[in-house]
Amino acid sequence: MARTSHRTAARAVEAQRRIREAGERVTTPRSAVLAALLAADHALTHHEVEEALAPVTPVDRVTVYRVLDRLVATGLAHRIPGEDRTWRFGANRRGPGGAHAHFTCSGCGRTVCLEETEVPAAVKVPRGFVPQRIELTVQGLCAACR
Ligand SMILES: [Zn+2]
Ligand SMILES: [Zn+2]
């Protein structure tokens, strides 16, 4: 138990450091939401963020939405579109910059960041086409669903 709370405190400190380094003001909801993203082993939906915070630092739904948008805008987190039309959010553990691939489990819908796999910066498209966004998603089964 003591170990868990110690780890939680360490994550809060880490979240606050990242927020400060991004030139943002540290607020309780910002640090709680980012700490939840850093703690998660998969990308979280708005709802999952709310649920993760509830026992420790309850943050209302509207604030969760606003904070997640802000974290994305400042490069502290990124959003991943889901096949179920639900956005999922992950902390930018390696800082802002190069986009990475994601793994989505067709069994449970869990989405995991594949930070080792970069998304190509450019792809060849037909003449006259303008790429707007490149995403790389690997579909498969997670260890639990396999
Ligand atoms: Zn699964
Ligand atoms: Zn990711």
Separation CA 93–CA 107 (nearest Å): 26
Instruction: Output the pLDDT for position 77.
Output: 96
Which ligand is in closest contact with the Cα of 110? 1
How far apart are the CA of 107 and the centre of ligand 1, in A? 5
pLDDT tens per residue across span 13-47: 999 999 999 999 999 999 999 999 999 999 999 99
Burial of 130 (C-beta count, 10 Å sphere; 0-12/13-18/19+): exposed
Q: Domains of the chain: which residue ranges?
A: 2-140
Per the CB < 8 A criterion, the answer to whether 109 and 144 are in contact is no
Supply φ then ψ for residue 97, to 5 degrees: 130, -140
pTM: 0.87
- Ligand sitting nearest the alpha carbon of 117: 2
- Give the pLDDT confidence of 39-91 residue by residue, as tens digits: 999 999 999 999 999 998 899 999 999 999 999 999 999 999 887 889 999 99
Q: Which ligand is nearest to the CA of 78?
A: 2
16: amino acid identity, one letter: Q
**Sheet with 111-118, side-by-side order of all strands:** 111-118, 100-105, 137-140
Spacing, Cα 43 to ligand 2 middle (Å):
7
CB of 96 within 8 A of CB of 49?
no
Residue 97: pLDDT band with limits 50, 70, 90 = low
| Residue 9 φ/ψ, nearest 5 degrees | -65, -40
Pick the CATH number of 2-140 from 3.90.550.10, 3.30.450.20, 1.10.10.10, 1.10.3730.10: 1.10.10.10
Q: Compute, in angstroms, the gap from residue 77 CA to the centroid of ligand 2.
A: 8
Please enumerate, as own/partner, the contacts of 53-61 that have beta carbons within 8 Å and a separation of 24 or more. 56/8, 56/32, 57/28, 57/29, 57/32, 59/29, 59/32, 59/33
